Amino acid sequence: MKGSLLSPAVIQKVLDTIQKTYRCGYQLAKQPKREKVLIDYSSPNIAKPFHAGHLRSTLIGNFVAKINSTVGHEVVRINYLGDWGLQFGLLGAGFKRYGSETQLADNPIKHLFDVYVEANKMADKDPVIEREAREFIQSMEQGDSNSLNLWQRFRQYSIEDYIKTYRRLGIEFDEYSGESQYWNKTPQLLEDLTMKGLLQTTQKGTQIVDLSDMYTGHSSYATLARSDGTSLYLTRDITAAIDRYDHHKFDRMYYVVDKSQVNHFKQLIGVLRMMGYSWANRIHHIQFGRVTGMKTRRGEVVFLADILDEARTRMLHNMQVTDTTKQLDDPDLTAEQLGISAVILQDFARRLSKDYKFDWDRLLQSQGNTGIFLQYTHARLYSLEQQAGFPIPSSVESIDTSHLQEPEAIDLVAHIAQFDSIVLKAYQEMEPHVIVKYLLRLGHLVSSAHKKLRVKDSPIEIAQARLILFNSARLTLAHGMDILGMKPVDQM
C-alpha cells in the first residue's frame, strides 16, 4: 500500500479497524485453522549454569508461543528440565563429597552450581568421581530413597529459582516436566523397539536404532542405551514425545533448541517414524545460532539473573545521567523493563539461525535500532496523548481524515495498515526479526510525523485527527512489542 495513494476514506477505514480491535487486545484478523501447538523451550539443566543458549531458547520460545496465540492457536508452553542423566549423577556424587547443608540453605542455586563445577573438574582427574556419578544415577533408577530425596530437593530449589527469574521476563509455563518423568518408561520403549525388530546391540554393548535409510553421517544411527543399561537423553526425549502426543494429540510441536542439536532431533523424528508414528512429521526443531561475548562486569555470565541484573543496573545508570529522564514512581522497575527490551531486540535483530556477538554498549543506546528506541517511541506517544489537552476521540467516524494528507501522516497510516500481513509473515516464517524490522521502521515514521504534525495548539479538528493517528501508531507498536516479549513503558 503506497502512502501517496491513500484517500481519506481509506485512512478512515485503517484507523477505524485499529481503534475498534487493538484497544481490546490484538489478534490476527484472518486466522488460520485453529490448532493445538506444544512448545518446548528454555529447558535449563538443574544446577548447571543458565547460559546464553538457555536465554535465547527462553526468549525465542516465548515469541513462538505469543505468535501462535496471536493467530488463534491453542498453545501449551512446556519447560522440560534437564533433571536426570550423568550431569545429575555428578551433582549427586559431588554433593556427598563437597556439599554443605548450611550453604545449601543459604544460597541453594549458587552452592549446587559450585558443587557441580568442582565435581566436574575432579572427574577429569579422577575416574572414581565419574564412576560414583554413574552409580548415583543407577541408584536413582533403582529407586533408592536417599538418592531420590536428594534429587527432589535439588530439583525443587532450582524450579523455585527459575520461576523468580521467568517472572522478571513476564514468562509463565503451562507445564514443568523433565527427563525424570520418563526414565522409568524407557525399558518399555526399548522393549517395543525390540519387538519391532528395530533395536540392535553393538559390540560395545550399546543399543542402537539404524537410521541409515533416512540419514547419513552422525544421524545414521541413534544410540538409546549405554552398555550398563542406563537410558540416554534421546531415549527419554522419545518417550516424552510419545507421552505428549497421547496426552495432547497436538497438531504441531516445536522444540526451541540451538542448531548444534540438529542431529539429535533428526534422530528423534527418525526413530518415531521407524516406530510407525505418522505424527512424527508434526515435530519441528526451531534452530538458533550461538551468542558470544555475553559477560557482566564481574566476568562470564553464570545465571540468567546475572544478565537481567546487569541490564537493569546499566540502564538505571544511563537514566540517572540523562537530563530528559522523567520523575518515575519506580525507576528500578522501568530500568528492568527497558533492559529486558534491549536484550530481546538485540537477540531478534537478525535471522534466528545466525550467530551474533552480545554488545552491552550498543543494545542500551536510545538512538538507532534498539529496544530502548522502541520503548522511547512508545513513551513519547503516551506523553503526547496525556499532554494533548483533550481525550482521544471515541470513534474514528467523529473525525475528519482529510486533515491527514501530509506525506508524514500518509506514510504512517500506510505502514500501520501492514501490521496484519507482517504478523502473518512472522508466523509463517517463525522469525521475530520480521516484526523487529517493521517496528523499527514504525518508530522512525513516528519520529518524522511527530516533528511535522503538531497536536497541541493546532485547530481542534486537525488536532483530533492527528491524535487518533498517533494513538493508532502507539497501539500497533505496543502489540508488536508484546508479541516480541517486551512490556511497553509509559514513561522513561
Active site residues: 48, 51, 54
Measured between alpha carbons, how far is 157 from 166 in angstroms, rounded to an integer? 15
Across the chain, which distance is largest between two alpha carbons, in Å? 87
What grid cell was written down for 94?
559431588
Q: At residue 421, what are phi and psi to the nearest 5 degrees?
A: -65, -30
Cβ(135)–Cβ(73) under 8 Å? no
Query: Hey, what amino acid is at 410?
Result: I
The neighbouring-strand residues paired with 78 are 40, 175
What grid cell was written down for 292?
558470544
Cβ(279)–Cβ(36) under 8 Å? no
Angle of CA points 368, 373, 374, to nearest 5°: 130
SS3 state of residue 40: strand
Which residues, at least 6 apart from 377, have a Cβ–Cβ distance to it below 8 Å?
A: 442, 443, 446, 447, 477
Query: Hey, what amino acid is at 457?
Result: D
DSSP class of 39 = E
Measured between alpha carbons, how far is 65 from 137 in angstroms, rounded to an integer? 34
The neighbouring-strand residues paired with 295 are 300
First-last CA distance in the chain: 34
Query: Which residue in 371, 407, 325, 400 sits closest to 485, CA to CA?
Result: 371
How many other CB atoms sit within 10 Å of the CB of residue 141?
18
CA 187 to chain centre: 33
